[in-house]
Chain A
């Protein structure tokens, strides 16, 4: 799932090469800080995702970039030019709206052509409009539907029209506001691949807002994880999954076991921790106190015969995921999430093992409400 080439992987582009940057961009609604001093750098040509739980400010951030909301503070830069106060029609971005927002009174052709006909000067001639609309409809696979009305199209087709309509102006950045949330699950997967294909065909920078981590991790070259208005971590999907920078990131991305441990010794990047008498090493993330929360990913934890692992437990649930089963097991040290290749019945006695050095240790914070409990790990059967 993480394989393949990823056009957005070039996160290390030199300053000035970025398609878009924001500096200390902020938005408040009354006493609520929706977006809190965000510095975002979008590498040119990348497929960039803004990921976060609902209410984290990602949509507000996107709408400020589009010019549909005015920031209270901060700047938006394109090629070093400040466009913060530019009205939306003058910005070099185009947006795909969550519910598509197609013009109900215009045909598919006129919807897609709309962006070419708004300029007060240098309106392209009819032939060129016809050609470019045709190209766009071919790009999104909707040839022959020019004369249909939006109301006669399926959700997936409407979305393709929305993408074609936004791309026809050759935007510097294509903004996508949760474009797949209104689609059926199986259509969603198809649309995901279509977007990837269009992205690599055009080389346009894509900025996708989503709350669906599978979507963000599988589709984008770079992911910015947002939480309560600020950027929690900006990284490649692999990094976000394997080395989450904060406990919030660790809890939000993927699944795992979270263990409350005490720290018994420190070495340069690894801390030795104690979990009710069990000692092991975990990666240090700059801990200061003497307690920590350790994340173990399910694939790091193995099922053994009872007595052969570090701790014994009983199976609570066992879920089929195609090539593996994911188990939850209760032990004296807490509930573990782990993987195995064969089925276990609830109640079975098992041993739980993990390597000498495993997982990442974070400064302990109270666990957030269980909004992320049941999100399948990337690579689940639907992916």
Chain B
């Protein structure tokens, strides 16, 4: 882009983009380790006191455990439904299967606000009251299309012949699913699980409508920030940032135990 000896537009564009993307992250992280009470430049010193403060807060711990439960349940539910749905969509090309697949994808394009209001209306019209169930239901609606996208993509590139080979070697249809299909697509399901977990953990918009009196971590942070701004919010942000990374690390170790190779190895070996 830059002409010979002219203004280096490409370099400038890249620099601006990187700063724009990562400046908030950098600042938030920096102030999480600030020893002072206020968000003023420059930070007064390094300390972990705000993390201690956050973990000592009973309300935060309650919100944290609610978020953890919601994220885990959402990930399990959406991966179970999504995997079964993907198996159907990639093997059946009937009109109904295609229609259901398209309908299943639609929520990606729906505004979360709309889904939230929909839940309020639904709860008013029925006897449903805000609970863990409604939180999970709301998250699952949003997350399911991504799960199907990830798992179905894996199934579409996978050689269906290995299932026929398994049948040929005496496996019943159930044995084929348990011993061949699921182990082969496990890394994709695990990836979808992480996406679902991470999404659910910091979802705010729909949760606002479906959680009732329970508070999740994002709702807790928002409520707190309304009252006062101190570095404990930054500490929470850093915790939120670390959670998907920790989940990925645990997954890597678990997969290595199960299959003798990590997530990335498994993906590479099967990509052949």
Genuine A/B complex: yes
Q: Are A104 and B270 in contact (CB under 8 A)?
A: yes
Chain B residues near A105 (CB-CB < 8 A): 180, 183-184, 186, 259, 266, 270
Contact between chains at B167 and A103 (CB < 8 Å): no
Q: Which of A12-20, A113-121, A224-232 contacts B (4 or more CB under 8 A)?
A: A113-121
Interface check A89, CB cutoff 8 A: yes
Among listed A93-101, A212-220, A264-272, A275-283, interface-contacting one = A93-101
From B58-66, B113-121, B170-178, the one touching the partner chain is: B170-178
| Nearest-Cβ distance from residue A269 to partner chain B, whole angstroms | 47
Within 8 A of A (CB), among B152-189: 159, 161-162, 164-172, 175, 179-180, 183-184, 186
Closest to B266 in A: A105
Report which residue of B167, B171, B266 has the largest number of chain A beta carbons within 10 angstroms of its beta carbon: B167
Chain B interface mostly: helix
Interface string of A145-178 (1 = CB under 8 A from B): 0000101000000000000011001000000000
Q: Answer yes or no: B95 CB below 8 A from chain A CBs.
A: no
Separation in Å of the A89 CB from the closest CB of chain B? 5
Question: Does A103 contact B161, Cβ atoms closer than 8 Å?
Answer: no
- A79-114 vs B, CB cutoff 8 Å, 1 = contact: the mask equals 000000001110001110101011111000000001
CA distance A32 to B272 in the complex (A): 35
Tell me whether A66 is interfacial, beta carbon within 8 Å: yes
Distance in Å: Cβ of B158 to nearest Cβ of chain A: 9
B159's nearest neighbour on chain A, judged by CB, is A101
Q: Is A202 an interface residue (CB 8 A)?
A: no
Q: Which of A95, A103, A149 is in CB contact (< 8 Å) with B168?
A: A95
Mask for B32-46, Cβ within 8 A of A = 1, else 0? 000000000000000
> How many whole Å from A224's CB to the nearest CB in chain B?
22
B257 within 8 A of A: no
Inter-chain contact B167/A87, CB cutoff 8 Å: yes
- The answer to the question of A68 belonging to the interface, with a C-beta cut-off of 8 Å to chain B, is yes
On whether the beta carbons of A101 and B164 are closer than 8 Å, the reply is yes
Give the docked Cα–Cα distance between A149 and B270 (Å). Answer: 10
B261 to chain A, nearest CB (A): 8
Known: A88-B168, A149-B269. A102 touches B162 (CB 8 A): yes
Bound: A379/B269 CA distance, A = 41
Cα(A102)–Cα(B162), bound, Å: 6
The docked-state distance in angstroms from the alpha carbon of A88 to that of B269 is 29
State whether A88 and B180 are in contact (beta carbons under 8 Å apart), knowing that A101-B159, A104-B269 are contacts in the complex.
Answer: no
Q: Are B159 and A115 in contact (CB under 8 A)?
A: no
B94-110 near A? 1/0 per residue, CB < 8 Å: 00000000000000000
Contacting residue for A68 out of B162, B168, B269, B270, CB 8 A = B168
- Look across to chain A and name the residue whose beta carbon is closest to the beta carbon of B165: A101
CB distance from A166 to the nearest CB of B (A): 8
B169 touches which of A87, A104, A149, A165 (Cβ 8 Å): A165
Q: Is the CB of B170 within 8 A of A169?
A: yes
Taking a contact as CB atoms closer than 8 A, the residue among A87, A103, A115, A151 that contacts B180 in the complex is A103
Identify the interface centre among B161, B180, B184, B272: most chain A CB within 10 Å of its CB.
B161
Minimum CB distance partner of B272 in chain A:
A151
Q: How many A-B residue pairs have CB under 8 A?
A: 74
Complex: A110 Cα to B149 Cα, angstroms: 31
Q: Are A88 and B167 in contact (CB under 8 A)?
A: yes
Chain B hits for A68, CB < 8 A: 164, 167-168
Contact with A along B240-272 (1 / 0, CB 8 A): 000000000000000000010000001001101
Q: Shortest Cβ distance from A363 into chain B, in angstroms?
A: 41
User: When each residue 196-216 of chain A gets 1 if its CB lies under 8 Å from chain B and 0 otherwise, what string results?
Assistant: 000000000000000000000
- Contact flag A104-B170 (CB < 8 Å), given A95-B165, A97-B161, A151-B269: no
**Chain A proximity of B30: nearest CB distance (Å):** 44
Q: Are A99 and B170 in contact (CB under 8 A)?
A: no
Given contacts A118-B175, A149-B269, A151-B269, contact A103 B159 (CB under 8 A): no
Given contacts A101-B159, A104-B269, A104-B270, whether A169 and B169 have CB atoms under 8 Å apart is: yes
B181 to chain A, nearest CB (A): 10
Report if A118-B171 is in contact (Cβ < 8 Å); known contacts: A97-B164, A104-B184.
yes
B175 to chain A: which residues have CB within 8 Å? Answer: 118
Q: Report how far A94 CA is from B166 CA in the complex, Å.
A: 10
Contact of A97 (CB < 8 Å), options: B165, B172, B179, B184: B165
Docked pose: A104 CA to B186 CA in angstroms: 12
Contact partners of A66 in chain B: CB under 8 A: 168
Within 8 A of B (CB), among A39-83: 66-68
Q: State A192–B272 Cα separation when bound (angstroms).
A: 26
Checking A99, A149, A165 against B159 with a beta-carbon cut-off of 8 angstroms, the contacting residue is A99
Cβ contact within 8 Å between A115 and B170: yes
Contacts of B159 in A (CB 8 A): 99, 101
Q: In angstroms, how far is the closest chain A Cβ from the Cβ of B163?
A: 9
Contact pattern, A 114-153, Cβ under 8 Å of B = 1, otherwise 0 = 1100111000000000000000000000000000010100
Binding site for B on A (CB under 8 A): 66-68, 87-89, 93-95, 97, 99, 101-105, 114-115, 118-120, 149, 151, 165-166, 169
Give me the 9 closest cross-chain CB pairs, A-B, nearest first: A118-B170, A101-B161, A115-B169, A101-B165, A88-B167, A118-B171, A105-B183, A89-B170, A151-B269
Beyond A151-B272, A169-B169, 16 extra complex contacts between A and B, CB < 8 Å = A66-B168, A68-B168, A88-B164, A89-B172, A93-B168, A99-B161, A101-B159, A104-B269, A104-B270, A104-B272, A105-B183, A105-B186, A105-B259, A118-B171, A118-B175, A166-B169
Can you list 6 A-B contacts (CB < 8 A)? A88-B167, A89-B167, A89-B169, A89-B172, A97-B165, A120-B172
